[in-house]
Structure 1
């Protein structure tokens, strides 16, 4: 029994009139009559009889009516379930990331993601760790890629956390000064081009100096871009 035939059958059962049923289902009167006849032929039973009040359901029609309603409701549920799966594979994913992670790691990761989820648009926002966690907490982004800080205390229970990679922290020096045997006390005499206060890199450097009892590093400049920092040191 095709849902189209059941829909027409129920329209006739409600209106008790072919003309009004045709207007309800947006068909010609002849098409409504043809569909009812097709359904009766399929079931091998008459579904309507004529009376002074209009079309009346036969016992077979009365028996079919609740099943037709249930079948059409199931068809609607099936369509709704399919629509949900479509919604799950389309939409927008807002990602926040540190500049270095975005430029070095995310390109490959996001290319793989797009290959599997081509219907999802990606919005990428660059920021510092503190700003990214704030945006994540306020719902401005869906996920954040940032570094774990060893001095951050208890993890924020609002967020699910997962380690996806580990990176070494390295010191960049001008040509001719990149010796392996230099210690932190000697470095404390140098001037640093560093990220701004609040950045996870800056926090790691400040903590290393503080733990060594050396105070903070001497600064030549504070710069928000890692690439710019490398260029300034080289120059």
Structure 2
């Protein structure tokens, strides 16, 4: 996906001045916690079972959108299913691993003075404790997520909020980069006029990399694309 002239090619161009990170599928491997909760909630309300591959579609977009688009949850059932899902997910949301190298990359970016923002479509009230439990919240200048009613949950809006928060904190966002694992991240970045890097270790389906400036296979490649040192092994 990168070319020698690409400013986001490994080892080329100016390092990112700020980094926006998605959460699910980028920092944390949360698919199991999300899909098990979705599966249980759909069963509890009598909706057809989905395959593991189908359930992965729910990881990334706002939960209401996913339930209606992928499971056909009716308007009448929607709020009850969302509440049931959140109860089930809330009980297991902290029991998720951080992807290899990502904790070190976050710490290394912070140590290098690069401002970091979380930009997730997960509810902020869930995203913040997940970062805290992973011991990473202290490295983020801004933590942005969806409102509880998801009136503000589209990735483009969350990226806008993150950029605004970084600016308010005095960060240079002229070279900001969005890092995520789904097409929502790529599109949200494009809507705000910043480049996106898609990570391969997340939950993207083939073709979701379209529009990304670069695609990376591990945290070391991501560090190189961002113009940062490879994560130290600790």
TM over 0.5: no
Which protein has greater RCO, CA pairs closer than 8 Å, 6+ apart? 2
The higher radius of gyration belongs to 1
